[in-house]
Amino acid sequence: MWGGRKLSSFGNRFLGVLRSRCWSTQAEGARLTSSAENQVSWTPQTKPWVFSEYRIMWFKSCRMTFACLNRMKIYRYPWRRLYSTSQTTVDNSEIKTFLALAHRWWDEQGVYAPLHSMNDLRVPFIRDNLLKTVAHHQSGKPLSGMKILDVGCGGGLLSEPLGRLGASVIGIDPVDENIKIAQHHKSFDPVLDKRIEYRACSLEEIVEETAETCDAVVASEVVEHVIDLETFIQCCCQVLKPGGSLFITTINKTQLSYALGIVFSEQIAGIVPKGTHTWEKFVSPEKLESILESNGLSVQTVAGMLYNPLSGYWHWSENTSLNYAAHAVKSTGQEHPVPAEFVFKGETEELRDKDSTNPGVQEELKK
């Protein structure tokens, strides 16, 4: 999927044309990545382009994209079969994708700009839902005293804001390079250095030592990259304290998410680096909810998120057909998991009813 390695010869020719067009931009790309050259080894075919230049060329590449789309789709399947025999939830092919762009994590206007601006939605989402569980909080450090596990933390884009809000964060990622970048970035800030800990491992590897210790687990933009979602959610649940929260942001599996999320974002506009996502791995909210409920996690919120590529900002939306965020809470009691869920759901339904029938209740009282 990534670069020219896995594509057919047709795909190679397609990339060759594009490569020749942006040869001048590669020089620029070389300047920016010169310091990182010793960190990652490159083949000429997989050299990342400067995506802002690439966006300008989409007019020309449009024609060719649609022609070779079908070919690309076919080649995805056999390739996936090769790697699905592992025991872990980590997909090695995905690792290669992220390895290619490890050094660009902290460029706020670079390839990861949409993830940086997604923080404007996901940090308040996590913060507000966690604050609901405490009676009072310290101003300046609202999340102090909370232990959060950030699964698939990447370069630490989400771990750092949570650390700044006072939480103790453990960030894990299977890609060594990402952890190195994240460690390096937080090392300059003495406060963050103490609050955040990074480890290069997968979720399964730390489940035993962190069982039932975390107030929250955050899996943002991760579940669309794992192989076995059921195991992943089970591990998340094991790590959580009873009553702890699980936060997931991911992409829905719909026609629209294929058209906009893969075709437009990756291939045409270059908003997301090519090969980042595989449509088959996208998870619909219904499927996610059923897996969560079957593992003893009661879903509190599912909210849609929309990205505006022109402004670069994310917005909350009623529509969950593209990106969405979910918040689930681990049930507190072991013996009666069902009533516990019921209580939560019942409470929220009661509150909703109260809002809608308040005038009705008042009328009744008058009578």
Partner 1 sequence: MAARLAVSRWRAAPSAAGRGPLLSCRRWSGAKADTVYDVVVSGGGLVGAAMACALGYDIHFHDKKILLLEAGPKKVWEKLPETYSNRVSSISPGSATLLSSFGAWDHICNMRYRAFRRMQVWDACSEALIMFDKDNLDDMGYIVENDVIMCALTKQLEAVSDRVTVLYRSKAVSYTWPYPFTMADSSPWVHITLGDGSTLQTKLLIGADGHNSGVRQAAGIQNVSWNYDQSAVVATLHLSEATENNVAWQRFLPSGPIALLPLSDTLSSLVWSTSHEHAAELVGMDEEKFVDTINSAFWSDANHTDFIDSASTVLQSVVGFLRPTKVSARQLPPSVARVDARSRVLFPLGLGHAAEYVRPRLALIGDAAHRVHPLAGQGVNMGFGDVSSLVHHLSAAAFNGKDLGSMSHLTGYETDRQRHNTALLAATDLLKRLYSTSAALLVLLRTWGLQATNAVSPLKEQIMAFASK
173 DSSP assignment? -
What's the alpha-carbon Rg for the chain, to the nearest Å?
A: 22
Q: Which of residues 176-195 bind partner 1 (CB under 8 A)?
A: 184-185, 188-190
**β-strands 297-308, 323-330 pairing:** antiparallel
- Give the count of residues interacting with partner 1 (CB under 8 A): 29
Place of tokens 């997301």: 272
Stretch that binds partner 1, among 133-141, 243-251, 275-283, 341-349 (CB under 8 A): 133-141
Candidates 9, 41, 87, 139; binder of partner 1 (CB under 8 A) is: 139
Q: Can you name the residues that pair with 302 across neighbouring β-strands?
A: 326
Helix axes of 229-239 and 285-294: crossing angle, nearest 10 degrees: 50
Residue 161 Cβ vs partner 1, minimum distance, rounded to whole Å: 3
Q: Where are the beta strands (DSSP E) in the chain?
A: 147-151, 168-172, 196-199, 214-220, 240-251, 297-308, 313-317, 323-330
Is 107 near partner 1 (CB under 8 A)?
Answer: yes
Candidates 26, 117, 129, 332; binder of partner 1 (CB under 8 A) is: 117
Residue 159 Cβ vs partner 1, minimum distance, rounded to whole Å: 10
Stretch that binds partner 1, among 69-77, 160-168, 264-272, 354-362 (CB under 8 A): 160-168
Site string for partner 1, 274-303 (x = CB under 8 A): ------------------------------
Q: 236: closest CA among 131, 330, 163? A: 330
Candidates 148, 162, 237, 303; binder of partner 1 (CB under 8 A) is: 162
Q: How far apart are CA 150 and CA 170, in angstroms?
A: 6
Candidates 94, 150, 160, 221; binder of partner 1 (CB under 8 A) is: 160
Q: How far apart are CA 229 and CA 207, in angstroms?
A: 15
Is 115 near partner 1 (CB under 8 A)?
Answer: no
Nearer to partner 1 by Cβ, of 110 and 304: the residue is: 110
262 DSSP assignment? I
Q: Which residues bind partner 1 (CB under 8 A)?
A: 35, 106-108, 110, 116-117, 119-120, 123-124, 127, 138-142, 160-166, 184-185, 188-190
